[in-house]
A and B are shown apart, each in its own frame.
Chain A
């Protein structure tokens, strides 16, 4: 029996077990929407802007192990989706985006709502397809799902011309996919793993550095087993938060530009670092020259060979699925019987504890002004540390990452690579739909939230009861911080004049809005918000405008040259004093 291309699209999504499609209709996809209307196996979520559809699908993937799907029309629908696609690409998130295209005879003729989607998205997708033959539609969609999830995950775009959705073909969904030019390496090389183990066991100052690859690769149990069996210190990247429990003593917290003092110092002074699904990016290690100024050996486990030795020379590269590689490592360790030099490790831990002691995340509390860090800490307490937290981009993102420790993965959903403002609210929507029983909160700021605030309407329509914690400082805070520190307090275009009344705005969309202006009201307001389980609550928290994110590694500086919060500035002036236990090192 032959069915239309549009029906084939729907059948493919059903075969893939898709639960939600986030999208927005239009001329080029109207046939697909008609086919969606006639089925009830998956739900369609009508967003208010295509960017939000893609962010929601992205967060649906991030917060579960499933693949998010977005559906947009041609032209402006497609271009609106691009920021979302690039966001997912930078963070290696599996996702399938179906875009409508003008009919094949019209392609290239500047037709109404025509845009070269394949050309536009080429640099920000794992792969993309233009379907030119209805007989290849099903196998192309199958390939798209396979490519999105396998190897290093990423978004895949399938561009479907309107006439293809109208033409008839038999539906035959392939059971498996074979792409001869694409064979991701899964198992690590045993010899390399052996080398890595002997290097690691010979270390005096070892460190495990865990990134988003451990989250996407579902390798947290293996990470935990490795770190705990050898008693190693471990640091998580922004994308890796939760891959190793944030509350564990062996966790040094996040490293990088706004990482903890102990994590950054350990990263700088370690002699062997094992990178697990992390890519030494500029916000983590700053400049490679500074990072390597202190001699160290690098073991790098990554499923993507091109991530290895991209910024930092690697001594032992291991290409493979992080979970499988770590498993084999653990297996070899069990049989090898060797252990680390206990005395050296003990002395390394003593040094780390000395770095940790002054608490680089300490901030001066206030009775009059609400400190944004305090809000995040209270959020942690009120949610019992069990919420899925999405964030936008800026100071609030860093505070959420610093003050909300994650003990399990897939609970911290943020745009780490691309840094997309406007990600938080649609992401919260996607995460909530993927996890209907979870508590989901979006930590955002007064600038970011306005970049996709229209999604309050979508949340109303689908009863998505997320909680929005708006750290409202009336500034584009992170840019303002840089202007204060490096641009002589010239706050060029970073003051948010004429902000809306967020409480009324939330109410206008049919939600609950609450404003918090006093530190003593923070906790009760959070409790009130989270008690309203069925409602979206917008908590507009008026915070201290002058608060900055510390610690901080300035551009071009080493991880051992951090700008520390005021209570630690003496240490900064006299680093050798702080490192006296390690006099031979520093």
Chain B
């Protein structure tokens, strides 16, 4: 099953590689990973999308907590949460296809952020499924490049992850 782990960790050199090393050494999956400093520059917030059985997730969480630099770990799946991913997608669009591509971007509430005679670059945010749906909806042959950030997540309502 797919899980989204939110991790608060010390913003120190090497902390990221400890997390990534743990996943590779123990054979856990990383579907996506995003990380950046928080409003408190001593802390980083990481979101890892992974999949595995409940037992595996329990081990992953425990192993993450064991890392000295990890402050807190929560599995966002345990309660309601919001997740968003950003995608930049560059597509070839010439002639009559240009209008069609613009319409598709509008339908998915994307924004065209760069334009040339032959291409559009579209910015899209949403759940990973929505981004997948956009890719499915357009002609694969016109896709020149896709860049995705991986999901970031946050608990709904009052639920917060802080020290």
The answer to whether A180 and B21 touch across the interface, beta carbons within 8 angstroms, is no
- Distance (whole angstroms) from the CB of B64 to the closest CB of chain A: 9
Specify the chain A residue showing the minimal Cβ separation from B58: A309
Known contacts A126-B68, A130-B14, A147-B68; decide if A306 and B21 are in contact (CB<8 Å). Answer: no
Q: Does A437 contact B (CB under 8 A)?
A: no
The answer to whether B62 and A305 touch across the interface, beta carbons within 8 angstroms, is yes
Identify which of A118, A119, A181, A309 contacts B55 (C-beta below 8 A).
Answer: A309
Residues of A within 8 A of B63 (CB): 306
The answer to whether B17 and A119 touch across the interface, beta carbons within 8 angstroms, is yes
Query: Please, how many angstroms separate the alpha-carbon atoms of A310 and B65 in the complex?
Result: 14
Q: Does A187 contact B (CB under 8 A)?
A: no
Specify the chain A residue showing the minimal Cβ separation from B26: A123
The answer to whether B68 and A179 touch across the interface, beta carbons within 8 angstroms, is yes
Query: Please, how many angstroms separate the alpha-carbon atoms of A470 and B66 in the complex?
Result: 40
Counting from the closest, the 4 A-B pairs by CB-CB distance are: A306-B62, A181-B71, A127-B68, A123-B25
Residues of A within 8 A of B10 (CB): 181
Interface size in chain B (residues, C-beta < 8 A)? 20
- Distance (whole angstroms) from the CB of B83 to the closest CB of chain A: 25
Query: Please, how many angstroms separate the alpha-carbon atoms of A310 and B55 in the complex?
Result: 8
Specify the chain B residue showing the minimal Cβ separation from A119: B17
The answer to whether B9 and A122 touch across the interface, beta carbons within 8 angstroms, is no
Specify the chain B residue showing the minimal Cβ separation from A181: B71
The answer to whether B59 and A181 touch across the interface, beta carbons within 8 angstroms, is no
Residues of B within 8 A of A310 (CB): 59
Q: Which of A146-204 contact B (CB under 8 A)?
A: 147, 179-182
Q: Does B151 contact A (CB under 8 A)?
A: no
Specify the chain B residue showing the minimal Cβ separation from A143: B68
Query: Please, how many angstroms separate the alpha-carbon atoms of A126 and B18 in the complex?
Result: 11
Query: Please, how many angstroms separate the alpha-carbon atoms of A105 and B106 in the complex?
Result: 51
Q: Does A7 contact B (CB under 8 A)?
A: no
Identify which of B17, B58, B62 contacts A122 (C-beta below 8 A).
Answer: B17
Q: Does B88 contact A (CB under 8 A)?
A: no
Known contacts A123-B25, A181-B70; decide if A305 and B17 are in contact (CB<8 Å). Answer: no
- Name 20 A/B residue pairs within 8 A (Cβ), A-sorted: A119-B17, A122-B17, A122-B18, A122-B21, A123-B25, A127-B68, A147-B68, A179-B68, A181-B9, A181-B10, A181-B68, A181-B70, A305-B62, A305-B66, A306-B59, A306-B62, A306-B65, A306-B66, A309-B55, A309-B59
Q: Does A91 contact B (CB under 8 A)?
A: no
Residues of A within 8 A of B55 (CB): 309
- Distance (whole angstroms) from the CB of B92 to the closest CB of chain A: 40
Query: Please, how many angstroms separate the alpha-carbon atoms of A401 and B129 in the complex?
Result: 57
The answer to whether B59 and A180 touch across the interface, beta carbons within 8 angstroms, is no
Q: Does B69 contact A (CB under 8 A)?
A: yes
- Distance (whole angstroms) from the CB of A146 to the closest CB of chain B: 11
Query: Please, how many angstroms separate the alpha-carbon atoms of A130 and B12 in the complex?
Result: 11
The answer to whether B69 and A181 touch across the interface, beta carbons within 8 angstroms, is yes
Q: Does B137 contact A (CB under 8 A)?
A: no
Q: Which of A93-120 contact B (CB under 8 A)?
A: 118-119
Query: Please, how many angstroms separate the alpha-carbon atoms of A97 and B21 in the complex?
Result: 21
Q: Does B107 contact A (CB under 8 A)?
A: no
- Distance (whole angstroms) from the CB of A82 to the closest CB of chain B: 15
Residues of B within 8 A of A179 (CB): 68
Q: Does A455 contact B (CB under 8 A)?
A: no
- Distance (whole angstroms) from the CB of B13 to the closest CB of chain A: 8
Q: Does A304 contact B (CB under 8 A)?
A: yes
Residues of A within 8 A of B160 (CB): none
Residues of A within 8 A of B71 (CB): 180-181
- Distance (whole angstroms) from the CB of B75 to the closest CB of chain A: 15
The answer to whether B21 and A305 touch across the interface, beta carbons within 8 angstroms, is no
Q: Does B163 contact A (CB under 8 A)?
A: yes
Query: Please, how many angstroms separate the alpha-carbon atoms of A127 and B14 in the complex?
Result: 11
Residues of A within 8 A of B70 (CB): 181
Residues of B within 8 A of A147 (CB): 68
Specify the chain B residue showing the minimal Cβ separation from A307: B62
Query: Please, how many angstroms separate the alpha-carbon atoms of A119 and B68 in the complex?
Result: 16
Known contacts A122-B17, A122-B18, A123-B25; decide if A180 and B163 are in contact (CB<8 Å). Answer: yes
Query: Please, how many angstroms separate the alpha-carbon atoms of A127 and B66 in the complex?
Result: 10
Residues of B within 8 A of A304 (CB): 66
Query: Please, how many angstroms separate the alpha-carbon atoms of A115 and B14 in the complex?
Result: 15
Identify which of B9, B14, B62, B163 contacts A118 (C-beta below 8 A).
Answer: B14
- Distance (whole angstroms) from the CB of A224 to the closest CB of chain B: 30
Query: Please, how many angstroms separate the alpha-carbon atoms of A180 and B163 in the complex?
Result: 9
Q: Which of A119-141 contact B (CB under 8 A)?
A: 119, 122-123, 126-127, 130
Q: Which of A280-309 contact B (CB under 8 A)?
A: 304-306, 309
- Distance (whole angstroms) from the CB of A306 to the closest CB of chain B: 4
- Distance (whole angstroms) from the CB of B12 to the closest CB of chain A: 10
Residues of B within 8 A of A123 (CB): 21, 25
Residues of A within 8 A of B163 (CB): 180
- Distance (whole angstroms) from the CB of B52 to the closest CB of chain A: 14
Query: Please, how many angstroms separate the alpha-carbon atoms of A118 and B21 in the complex?
Result: 12
Residues of B within 8 A of A306 (CB): 59, 62-63, 65-66
Residues of A within 8 A of B59 (CB): 306, 309-310
Chain B 1-44 against A: per-residue CB contact (8 Å), 1 yes, 0 no?
Answer: 00000000110011001100100010000000000000000000
Specify the chain B residue showing the minimal Cβ separation from A126: B68
Query: Please, how many angstroms separate the alpha-carbon atoms of A123 and B22 in the complex?
Result: 7
Known contacts A306-B62, A309-B58; decide if A182 and B68 are in contact (CB<8 Å). Answer: yes
Query: Please, how many angstroms separate the alpha-carbon atoms of A397 and B34 in the complex?
Result: 47
- Distance (whole angstroms) from the CB of A119 to the closest CB of chain B: 7
Q: Which of A194-223 contact B (CB under 8 A)?
A: none
Query: Please, how many angstroms separate the alpha-carbon atoms of A380 and B47 in the complex?
Result: 57
Residues of B within 8 A of A126 (CB): 68
Query: Please, how many angstroms separate the alpha-carbon atoms of A126 and B69 in the complex?
Result: 11
- Distance (whole angstroms) from the CB of B5 to the closest CB of chain A: 15
Please indicate which of the listed interface residues B14, B66, B68, B71 has the most CB atoms of chain A within 10 Å of its own CB.
Answer: B68
Chain B 65-89 against A: per-residue CB contact (8 Å), 1 yes, 0 no?
Answer: 1101111000000000000000000
